[in-house]
Amino acid sequence: MSVISSALGFCFNLFEPVFRLGQKWLGGSRIGWLFVVPNLLVISVFSFLPIAVNLVYAVTGGVNLLPTERPFTGADNFSILLQCRDYTDLQTCRTDIFWRAIFNTVKFSLAQVALMLFFSLVTALVLNRKIIGRGFWRGVFFYPVLLSPVVVALIWKWLLQSQGVFNAGLVAMGSQPMEWLLDSSWAFFWVVVVSIWAHMGFYTLILLAGLQAIPRDVYEAAEMDAAKPFRVLSRITLPLLMPNLIVVLVLVMIRAVQTFDEVFVLTGGGPGSATTFIVQYIYQTGFAEQIHLYGLAAAASLMLAIGLMALTLAQLRLSKAGEAGKTRK
Amino acid sequence: MLNFLLRRRGRSRLHWTDWASYAYLLLGLLVMFGPVLWLVMSSFKTESALSQFPPTFLPYSQKTAMVAGHEQPLPLFTVKDEQGRSRELAQVRRIGIVATMVDPKQPDTEIRVGINERKPVNELKFASGNYTELFGKFAFGTYLWNSVFITVVATLITLLINSMAAFALSKYQFTGQKTVFVMIIATLMIPPTIILVPAFLVVSGMGLLNNLWGVILPAVATPTGVFLLRQYMLTIPDELLEAARMDNASEWRIYWKIVLPLAAPAMAVLAIFSFMWRWNDFLWPLIVLSKSEHFTLQLALNSFQGELNTQWHYLLAMTVITLVPITIVFTFLQKYIATGIAGAGVK
Amino acid sequence: MRFQPFRRMRPLQSALSVGLLSLAATAWPGAAFADIRVMCYQDGNECDVTADLIKRYETQNPGAKVTLDTVPYKTVVEQLPIQLAAGQGPDIARVAEVGGLSKNYLDIGPYLKDRKYWEASFGSTLPWMRPKAGETGIYGFLSQMTMTGPFVNKTLFEQAKVPMPGPKATWDEWVEACRKVAKATQTPAAIAWDRSGHRFAGPAISFGAKIFDASGNLTMDDGYKTAVRKFVGWHKDGTMIKDIWGGSGGSSYADTVGEFKNGRVVMVLSGSWQINRMQKEIGNAFDWVAVPNPCGPAACSGMPGGAAWVALKTTKSPKEVAQFLDFMAQEANYAEWVSRTSNIPSHAGVAKKGVTYPNAGPAAQAALSVFSSGTGTVSPVAYQLQGYKYNRALMLPTVTRVTQSIVGEISVDEAVTKIGTDMAEAVKQAEK
């Protein structure tokens, strides 16, 4: 313990003179800048600078990594990505895998939002009841959230493999074992399930916190009015929970659109391109294939960012409406 | 019907809705913990036990026997012969649908048996060798060290610079403060994918490719951390700071000796989050680290799942080891994590 | 402005100083012999044998230090190119994509004592490493010659009492025979090919694909289409298991040795570099043989190849690199290397004298001789493709698109068209 405190003391003494000096120069409130600078520096170097450079990549072509060796191509990359002879038939697109990835991502995100909201809500409602050992049960649902995506994917890969537990169950019930991850529809199904399994606990906690913030007298008043349970749910609980529901909706959406890790390890984007999502497309185009099309990857990622920002702005609008609804009470 | 979802029941007698709730919770327990438990049990099975179908829950391993004339121990099976008696035979080899077996007591005569006529003799055996061999076969200690190093160092730096920024944003008013805050929060909206390639370029330009610092530095300025700490620091009364200033304390002293200790609960939550994020980081280390001696556990796990896709026993053991630290953190600090998320969620 | 790390933990401090020291060590060319780093991947024991040779080199040249990094194949394929593009990387690497990375190679010709020896020994394959056709730089040498070709589970054939087709049998005859065997022995699949465009090219050429058009550019033709159609058809009718090609997305590599050694497939199309691994992992479980490449209407061809030791531009010690590579290229050392790793030599002198394979069991020896004599039936188109700088532009989309066709996402015709367009696109970008 004393080692730690002396080390802490050492660190303290290390920086104090720097700050005293800064205080003298910058005075009163501007000293705040000194505190904020390290964080800002890291963000600028590793987030903002790359965004700027990304724009450079998006408008250049070739396969070289260094921007100085890349020829300027203008909006070429965007047109390559977006060009389709017939927009109803994915096959006619120049980068059909890009379009498939977008389509898969949209499908996935919608499924995720709907199912995740549903299951988190139900679980939060159940956990909100007076049950023994709520802390324990809460932990049960939250545990998978802590596991890394690689671990999550491997666990499920092990369960789903042709000689795994699930197939054993099928055989026991008399049917044939299935190659779960080699069938396009099933692979997609399991990707959705695994994603929900791995992240549900997080959102359950948010909703649970929201539920517990609802004062009890609201319910007691409803009980005294002999209100029907369904009405209580739809007229009282859900509206009061709306801010949290919207937070969850946005978070789930953002995460779903950016899903990569667990899907990549579980299916590798396969079979074919059935579970290839947009982030994997970017990774594949820019990093994995031996002919690195950095320009296309950058252009695709830019479009992803714009789409995501649009979605988030839509959420802000919704949340304002939700706030307005709350004050109506 | 939706009764049970809505109200807390205070009665001492259990209502059917309580039963339904507990049933749901038990189902949840099975669904959430079941797969992990299955993983752990499977990791103790020997390689041959893993390829048995249907799989058993407990790690059974086939009994083996040393038979004269064969170097390796041979697996034992029970076989019914024509008279219906069962004998224990050792299998020399098996190709297709025919197994060549010998009676351990008469090792010279080989008997051909169809694969459907034999059943393995099993015993309960925990193949801890899966784990111990890992450290010998693969540079497992190195991967573990890399993961630990990255996680610990990144968490420490994160705590420092995030709390400094949060302090500045909550306890000061300076021009451009709002812009800075917006900039920090804006990074939340940036999907990491759009900066993959250029961030890689920046990191390699700084000479940090294949270097653990190349994984640590870009990750330390977490917007969630700043936000979380700021929210908490806003609740620290300003009078404390004023009093300290009147005693001629430097701003650094105020930060270090007053605000930080008071913000300890939020710092603890951030520490846990940071630990979790860095331990589980995958995509960015995948891109930055290519020399296998620098791999983290997650990367090693991923690269071996490609190479060893037929050596599940090592893969499973490795997976279990990878999830042990986070499980430990979880069991002891679960409460903090939950309250932290709850606090952050009610933005 | 880098943040000073906390000094509260001693392991941290020592790790840091170790890190800084090693960084410093690699930056300073101070010593008389600079240290060089070699990145190596192995199919069997290539890197282990190299480590032994390195020890000998260091003893013969006191002061020299060669560090060997053994990495998975995937690292060399996916991450080395990125490292090199960023201006980083080892001094020497053992690479499989010999032509594709050529712009990163260093010409060690000026540092070699005896150029004529190199040209006499490796003359036919030196051009594979040259960035521009027609130039005369020496960038490294092929550590071995490899050939793609099939391995067959002889024991299963015996159990099923089906005769193995002869040396000039066609793919259709082999498919037929293997199907019968699989059915009789309850084996899940008859045939499997490695998930690789390189493997696919051999049968494609046998089916009549010309790969190159009159002006030397990559092209899709009926021969290639036939190959794709047959391949997809074999998956659909159950001759091949879906796991290998259908199990992944994109163009990631997967080999069939795992399935073969577990007795899940009767015949696999892989290559000579797997012989050592086959021997080690199959052992006595069953009898396996290598057979000559089955024929198509146009040829009975496999694809030649070979991994190469190449000098990289990122090195700061070209002299030491040249010296080490020269050592490895000496006839005695080269012969020892291929002999211990059970590989076919690419060195003219060594090939002429013949190699003994003491580590190879009878099965491995037989397989090696089948592959060695198979070099005679390799089509010239195959050689041309292997030496073509952008051959990846053909091979990678083949894997992606054919997989899509196998899982039913697109039809065979669409797959072939798409391979064509992906290929043209990639070459266009690569040439920019």
Please answer whether residues C194 and C244 qualify as being in contact, where contact means their C-beta atoms are separated by less than 8 angstroms. yes
Backbone region of residue A148 per phi and psi (left: phi > 0; alpha: psi in -120 to 50; beta: other values): beta
Q: What is the pLDDT of residue C173?
A: 93
Q: How many domains does chain C have?
A: 2
Tell me if C4 is assigned to some domain: no
C410 CB neighbours in chain A (<8 A) are 91
Q: How far apart are the first and last CA of chain B?
A: 33
pLDDT score recorded for residue C8 = 39
- pLDDT score recorded for residue C280: 80
Q: How confident is the model at residue A219 (pLDDT cuts 50, 70, 90)?
A: confident
Q: Count Cβ–Cβ pairs < 8 Å, chain A vs chain B.
A: 322
- Which residue ranges of chain B lie beneath pLDDT 50? 1-12, 346-347
**Chains with 3 or more CB pairs under 8 A to chain A:** B, C
Mutate to test the interface with B, among A148, A214, A296 (most CBs of B within 10 A): A148
Which candidate from C5, C74, C263 shows the least CB-CB separation from B153? C5
pLDDT confidence of residue C32? 52
Cβ atoms < 10 Å from Cβ of C183: 12
Q: Which residues of C touch B204 (CB under 8 A)?
A: 86-88
Q: CA–CA separation, B169 vs B171, rounded Å?
A: 6
For residue A107, the model assigns a pLDDT of 93
Express as a percent the part of chain A with pLDDT over 90: 11
CATH number of the domain enclosing C173? 3.40.190.10
Residue C288 domain boundaries: 147-304+368-431
Q: Is C379 found in the same domain as C236?
A: yes
Both C57 and C131 in one domain: the answer is: yes
pLDDT at C412: 92
pLDDT at A199: 92
Residues of C with Cβ-Cβ distance to B149 under 8 angstroms: 12, 15
Examine the domain organization and report whether C26 and C138 are in the same domain: yes
Mean pLDDT by 10 residues, chain C (432 residues): 37 38 37 76 85 92 86 75 78 86 88 89 84 83 90 90 90 93 89 91 91 85 92 91 80 81 88 84 83 90 89 90 92 91 85 82 86 82 84 88 89 91 85 74
Enumerate residues 6+ apart whose C-beta is below 8 A from B322.
A148, A150, A151, B297, B298, B301
pLDDT recorded at residue C1: 33
Is the same domain home to C22 and C82? Answer: yes
For residue C247, list chain A residues with Cβ-Cβ distance below 8 A: 181-182, 268, 270-271
Contact flag B32-A18 (C-beta cutoff 8 Å): no
Cross-chain Cβ contact A301/B172 below 8 Å: no
Partner residue opposite B292 with nearest CB, options C12, C72, C259: C72
Topology at the third CATH level for domain B131-345: MetI-like fold (1.10.3720)
Over residues A196-223, the mean pLDDT reads 85
Closest-CA residue to C373 (of C174, C153, C173, C149): C149
* CATH class name, domain A84-328: mainly alpha
pLDDT at B51: 66
Using the Cβ of C188 and the Cβ atoms of chain A, whether some distance falls under 8 Å is answered with: no
Domain spans of chain B? Answer: 15-59, 64-120, 131-345
pLDDT in tens, B122-152: 777 787 878 887 777 677 788 889 999 999 9
pLDDT at B14: 61
In this structure, what DSSP letter does residue A269 have? T
Long-range contacts, A39-44 (Cβ 8 Å, 24+): A39/B161, A39/B162, A39/B164, A39/B165, A39/B184, A39/B221, A39/B226, A40/B165, A40/B180, A40/B183, A40/B184, A40/B221, A41/C1, A42/B161, A42/B217, A42/B218, A42/B220, A42/B221, A43/B183, A43/B184, A43/B187, A43/B221
Across the interface, whether the CB atoms of A223 and B7 are under 8 A apart is answered yes
Fill in the amino acid letter for A142: F
Instruction: Mention every residue, 6+ apart, whose C-beta is less than 8 A from residue C382.
Output: C201, C202, C205, C301, C302, C303, C304
Same domain, residue pair C267 and C154: yes
Pick among C1, C80, C97, C407 to test the A interface (most A CBs inside 10 A): C407
pLDDT of residue A289: 66
Q: So what's the pLDDT on residue C50?
A: 93
| Nearest-CB residue to C407 (from A70, A271, A280) | A271
Q: Left if phi > 0, otherwise alpha if psi is -120 to 50, otherwise beta: which for B109?
A: beta
Same domain for C207 and C160: yes
Tens digit of each residue's pLDDT (9 = 90 or more) over C13-53: 333 333 343 333 333 333 456 788 898 888 778 888 999 99
DSSP 3-state of C268 = strand
Residues of chain C positioned with their CB less than 8 A from the CB of A65: 82, 85-86
Q: How far is A146 from chain C (nearest CA, A)?
A: 26
Q: Where in the sequence of chain A do the CATH 1.10.3720.10 domains occur?
A: 84-328
Instruction: Please say whether the beta carbons of C266 and C190 come within 8 A.
Output: yes
As a whole number of angstroms, the distance between CA C172 and CA B336 comes to 66
Portion 142-171 of A in contact with B at CB < 8 A: 142-144, 146-151, 154-159, 163-165, 167-168, 171
pLDDT value at residue A128: 85
The b-or-e profile of A64-88 (16+ CB within 10 A means b, else e) is bbeeeebeebeebbbebbbebeeee
Closest chain B CA to residue C87: B204
Residue C400 resides in a domain: yes
pLDDT at B97: 66
Q: Are C152 and C94 contained in the same domain?
A: no
Same domain, residue pair C399 and C292: yes
What are the tens digits of pLDDT across the range A110-156? 999 999 999 999 999 888 887 788 778 888 888 888 888 888 888 89
Whether C52 and chain B come into contact, CB under 8 Å, resolves to no
Give me the interface pTM, i.e. the ipTM: 0.74
Q: Name the B residues in 193-232 with CB < 8 Å from any A CB.
A: 193-199, 201-203, 217-218, 220-221, 226
